């Protein structure tokens, strides 16, 4: 037996001596009972979680036909971790659960804490002049709002404070119908719908009040190549997506070729969010490793889209500085600070915000001592032969992450192209070329 195995055996014997056989046995029995309890007893009432009685003041009903089967049977279920999440929800944690829907591994979101959902109901009641909760009348109240469209425009125009921030559309509201066209019923089967006082518009308004993520997942669809989870739909007060993978933080110690592949995906994602939509640019204001996951095939997805600025790139009336590109500010006395001004983003037809923040927060060492969950960045520890063969790699990385006054889009794209070239030319990558990365976009 090896020395370290001896140490383990001695440690186990020490624990048994300290606790005693009876205490240890009791602990094991209690642990087993707890496990069985969680597995068999923590079955949340899914119908209560749906809160269908509040519709159309809900997230939608597109998934209800797949979820609801008879008065009691329901096809969505929580796995063990999901049930633990339901228990944790009693202590007011976020309403995000894992589970299964017709054998698909899914993420089930209620899009807010319990207190936030209660506050949502109060907001809707206040919109109709009720001083207190309107309770059972909520369903009728939402369609009696004088103009849901006007309320939506106010929400999109006034969301400037990040603490209250959900989604901002700028510099004007003239194309707001276009923004939500994919979530609205088609007119005569083909023409885009409009925001009117109906159930579909009420769903949009409700989501803007609590969390716009399901709307954005329908605008930027995974099926169309956007780096986001596949949105399955909503039923009442839950929204469901396919499980998209494990946190990016889990990949910090992977091989450099694998990390380079993920970095290339991130750089392509910056381009995608900024340029790919024909009408709008999407600027993510909460880019962090906690909000990005990677699936078993190595595909990366952004899973938290709660805070965004959406810039209409083709408005009729343009601000004075519109034709100038917006360059993100870099502060020498605050390395890694993710600073932005939504007003500044709205004044320009294009911004390097996505490229700069992805380089600074995720790829390079720019976070300094600011509590970065990816110390040194995803591209840390570049192999020596890569450094010698491609010395510009670090130059472009530093420019796009911390270059003051630099065009971060240009630097990020140079970094992207160099990573792609290295993957094809350097033996370090072997058969692990980054070509498959491009197919995701």
Average pLDDT over residues 218-226: 95
* pLDDT (0 to 100) of residue 6: 45
Each residue's pLDDT tens digit, 350-377: 999 999 999 999 998 865 434 557 888 9
303 CB-near residues (< 8 Å, 6+ apart): 107, 228, 229, 241, 244, 291, 292, 293
Each residue's pLDDT tens digit, 408-426: 999 999 999 999 888 887 7
Average pLDDT over residues 230-242: 95
* pLDDT (0 to 100) of residue 308: 94
CATH of residue 366:
1.10.510
Q: How far apart are CA 132 and CA 128, in angstroms?
A: 11
Cβ atoms of residues 233 and 62 within 8 Å: yes
The answer on 275 and 156 residing in a single domain is no
The answer on 259 and 239 residing in a single domain is no
Mean pLDDT in the chain?
A: 81
For residue 428, is pLDDT > 80? no
* pLDDT (0 to 100) of residue 268: 95
Confidence of residue 96 (pLDDT cuts 50, 70, 90): confident
The answer on 366 and 273 residing in a single domain is yes
* pLDDT (0 to 100) of residue 126: 82
409 CB-near residues (< 8 Å, 6+ apart): 274, 325, 350, 352, 355
Cα angle 328, 173, 171; round to 5:
25
Select from 195, 222, 243 the last residue of a domain.
243
The answer on 263 and 183 residing in a single domain is no
Number of domains in the chain: 2
Cβ atoms of residues 328 and 411 within 8 Å: no
For residue 346, is pLDDT > 90? yes
* pLDDT (0 to 100) of residue 402: 85
CA 202 remoteness from chain centre: 23
* pLDDT (0 to 100) of residue 81: 52
For residue 189, the enclosing domain spans: 44-163+174-243
37 lies in some domain: no
The answer on 285 and 368 residing in a single domain is yes
Confidence of residue 73 (pLDDT cuts 50, 70, 90): low
The answer on 382 and 299 residing in a single domain is yes
* pLDDT (0 to 100) of residue 16: 47
Cβ atoms of residues 298 and 246 within 8 Å: no
Select from 221, 243, 265 the last residue of a domain.
243
> Structure pTM?
0.83
CA 374 remoteness from chain centre: 17
263 lies in some domain: yes
Of 245 and 36, the structure prediction assigns the larger pLDDT to 245
Average pLDDT over residues 95-120: 89
The answer on 252 and 195 residing in a single domain is no
For residue 80, is pLDDT > 80? no
363 lies in some domain: yes
29 lies in some domain: no
Select from 213, 243, 273 the last residue of a domain.
243
26 lies in some domain: no
Each residue's pLDDT tens digit, 31-72: 554 544 444 444 555 677 889 889 999 999 999 988 887 655
């Amino acid at each position: 037996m090896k020395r370290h195995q001896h140490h383990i055996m001695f440690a186990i014997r020490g624990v048994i001596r300290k606790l005693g056989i009876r205490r240890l046995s009791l602990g094991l029995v209690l642990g087993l009972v707890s496990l069985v309890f969680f597995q068999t007893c923590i079955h949340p009432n899914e119908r209560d979680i749906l809160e269908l009685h509040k519709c159309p003041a809900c997230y939608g009903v597109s998934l209800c036909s797949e979820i609801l089967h008879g008065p009691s049977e329901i096809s969505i279920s929580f796995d063990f971790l999901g049930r633990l999440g339901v228990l944790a929800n009693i202590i007011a944690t976020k309403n995000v659960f894992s589970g299964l829907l017709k054998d698909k591994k899914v993420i089930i979101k209620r899009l807010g804490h319990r207190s936030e959902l209660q506050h949502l109901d109060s907001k809707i009641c206040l919109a109709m002049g009720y001083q207190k909760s309107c309770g059972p009348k909520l369903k009728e109240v939402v369609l009696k709002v004088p103009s849901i469209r006007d309320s939506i425009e106010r929400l999109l125009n006034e969301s400037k404070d990040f603490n209250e921030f959900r989604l901002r559309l700028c510099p004007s509201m003239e194309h707001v119908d276009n923004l939500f066209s994919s979530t609205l019923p088609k007119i005569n089967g083909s023409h885009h719908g409009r925001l009117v006082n109906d159930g579909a518009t009420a769903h949009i308004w409700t989501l803007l009040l609590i969390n716009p993520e399901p709307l954005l997942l329908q605008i930027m669809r995974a099926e169309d190549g956007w780096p986001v989870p596949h949105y399955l739909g909503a039923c009442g007060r839950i929204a469901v997506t396919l499980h998209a993978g494990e946190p990016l933080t889990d990949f910090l110690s992977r091989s450099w070729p694998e990390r380079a592949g993920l970095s290339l995906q991130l750089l392509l994602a910056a381009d995608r969010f900024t340029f790919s939509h024909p009408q709008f640019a999407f600027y993510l204001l909460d880019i962090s490793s906690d909000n990005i996951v990677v699936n078993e095939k190595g595909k990366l997805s952004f899973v938290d889209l709660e805070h965004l600025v959406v810039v209409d790139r083709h408005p009729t009336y343009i601000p004075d500085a519109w034709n100038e590109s917006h360059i993100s500010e870099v502060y020498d006395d605050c390395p890694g600070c993710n600073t932005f001004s939504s007003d500044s983003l709205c004044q320009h037809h294009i911004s390097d915000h996505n490229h700069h923040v992805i380089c600074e927060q995720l790829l390079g060492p720019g976070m300094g001592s600011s509590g970065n969950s990816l110390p040194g960045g995803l591209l840390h520890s570049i192999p020596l032969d890569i450094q010698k063969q491609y010395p510009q790699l670090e130059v472009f990385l530093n420019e796009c992450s911390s270059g003051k006054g630099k065009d971060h889009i240009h630097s990020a794209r140079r970094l992207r192209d160099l990573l792609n070239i290295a993957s094809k030319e350097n033996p370090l990558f072997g058969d692990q070329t980054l070509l498959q990365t491009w197919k995701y976009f």
